[in-house]
């Protein structure tokens, strides 16, 4: 019994120390790690956040492996990355163990493109094997690919619901199973889950999307605990949960117009820069903007009816409805054109 009591006090001290170290990072921001020369796989790299992640990692000298289902858009991202590489025609600096700086020969990073449908398990495994043969072992995995059906639940075909779940959630299992074993063997790697604030708290009209993001976050958190249990301290995990991002994915989504100036959709560039800061400092989780942390906490302690009242005040309860209406109108227009 005394041992349990003693261990309990040790746990309390460790928890308090965790608060102290977290607070210290606000005062003295941690140094960003180097990813120069490391192999980074990015899914959904052909557009949106994936393309911006590719450009950010390229600026830091990483070797990029771009996955996307769209070959043309993926090649467009690759061309942007090559242009960035040309601008990096300077020797890479590295720190010696004693803290000095040594100039090393110029490293020429490369970009590799692969057409991969992460919604198909065997396609993921075969593409991962091809990457290992042609590029080498993967150091960083960015699970970014995502889709949204854009239908109310009762109007959504089952196939689109399944597609949303597979791409947004199940694909994370498959990419991780493909690349994690070598990371564990080398005790080196970083896995990033690009989720959403809609994986922390939900709203009406996007049941399939919310469920897929809740699932991705649950997978990420469980995997983080498993890596901690295995005592592989060289493997990092970062969960990215942005608020609505101003991309084509949720074009038209709007909260209450009086509130929107204070909580506008995020600029994709800002979202990725915040995420990159978290990744390069091995931060376990980043929510953008910071109010997302507060909303998630309030959801955990407030009665459901209180949450409903807040949603209605903010216009968050029906924020997806304009987006869904636009999707429906676009689909009707396409069907009319095809009919003609």
DSSP 278: H
The pLDDT assigned to 339 comes to 52
The pLDDT assigned to 334 comes to 58
State how far the Cα of 131 lies from the Cα of 242, in Å rounded to an integer: 29
Which tens digits make up the pLDDT trace of 201-211?
A: 889 989 999 99
pTM higher than 0.85: yes
Which tens digits make up the pLDDT trace of 82-103?
A: 999 988 875 554 444 344 444 4
- Whether residue 249 is predicted with pLDDT greater than 80 in this model: the reply is no
319 burial type by CB count under 10 A (0-12 exposed, 13-18 middle, 19+ buried): buried
Contacts of 13 by beta carbon, 8 Å cutoff, 6+ apart: none
Written as six digits, the tokens of 231 are: 């005592």
The pLDDT assigned to 252 comes to 76
Cα 36 to the center of its chain, rounded Å = 20
The pLDDT assigned to 101 comes to 44
The pLDDT assigned to 310 comes to 85
DSSP 248: G
State how far the Cα of 179 lies from the Cα of 191, in Å rounded to an integer: 9
Band of pLDDT at residue 123, cut at 50, 70 and 90:
very high
Which tens digits make up the pLDDT trace of 293-330?
A: 888 888 889 899 998 898 888 888 888 888 888 887 76
What are the structural domain ranges in the chain?
A: 33-82+107-339
Residue 209 annotated in active site? yes
Band of pLDDT at residue 340, cut at 50, 70 and 90:
very low
Q: Which residue has the tokens 């790697």?
A: 189
Cα 33 to the center of its chain, rounded Å = 18
The pLDDT assigned to 79 comes to 96
8 Å CB contact between 32 and 8: no
How far is the CA of 290 from the CAs of 243, 269, 274, 294, in angstroms?
Answer: 9, 16, 11, 7
Higher local confidence (pLDDT), 35 or 6: 35
Which tens digits make up the pLDDT trace of 18-65?
A: 778 877 777 777 889 999 999 999 999 999 999 999 999 999 999 999
Topology of domain 33-82+107-339, per CATH? Rossmann fold (3.40.50)
Q: Catalytic residue among 85, 209, 243, 311, which?
A: 209
When the pLDDT of each residue in the chain is averaged and rounded to a whole number, the result is 88
Band of pLDDT at residue 163, cut at 50, 70 and 90:
very high
């Amino acid at each position: 019994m005394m041992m349990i009591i003693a261990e309990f006090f040790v746990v309390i001290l460790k928890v308090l120390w965790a608060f102290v170290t977290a607070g210290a990072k606000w005062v003295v921001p941690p140094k960003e790690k180097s990813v120069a020369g490391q192999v980074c796989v990015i899914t959904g790299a052909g557009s949106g956040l994936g393309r911006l992640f590719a450009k950010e990692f390229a600026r830091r000298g990483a070797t990029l492996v771009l996955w996307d289902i769209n070959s043309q858009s993926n090649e467009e991202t690759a061309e942007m990355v090559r242009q960035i590489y040309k601008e990096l025609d300077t020797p890479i600096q590295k720190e010696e163990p004693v803290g000095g700086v040594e100039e090393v020969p110029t490293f020429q990073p490369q970009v590799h493109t692969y057409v991969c449908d992460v919604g198909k398990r065997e396609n993921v495994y075969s593409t991962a094997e091809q990457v290992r043969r042609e590029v080498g072992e993967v150091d960083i995995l960015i699970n970014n690919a995502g889709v949204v059906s854009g239908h109310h639940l009762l109007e959504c075909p089952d196939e689109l619901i399944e597609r949303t779940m597979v791409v947004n959630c199940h694909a994370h299992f498959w990419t991780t199973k493909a690349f994690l074993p070598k990371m564990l063997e080398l005790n080196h790697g970083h896995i990033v889950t690009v989720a959403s604030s809609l994986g922390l708290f939900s709203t009406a009209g996007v049941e399939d999307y919310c469920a897929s993001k809740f699932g991705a976050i649950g997978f990420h958190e469980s995997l983080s605990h498993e890596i901690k249990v295995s005592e592989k301290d060289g493997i990092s995990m970062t969960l990215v949960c942005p608020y609505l991002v101003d991309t084509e994915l949720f074009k038209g989504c709007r909260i209450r117009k009086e509130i929107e100036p204070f909580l506008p959709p995020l600029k994709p560039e800002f979202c990725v820069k915040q995420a990159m800061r978290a990744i390069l400092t091995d931060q376990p989780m980043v929510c953008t903007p910071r109010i997302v942390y507060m909303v998630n906490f309030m959801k955990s302690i407030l009665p459901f009816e209180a949450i409903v009242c807040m949603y209605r005040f903010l216009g968050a309860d029906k924020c997806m409805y304009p987006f869904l209406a636009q999707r429906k109108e676009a689909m009707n227009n396409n069907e009319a054109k095809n009919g003609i």
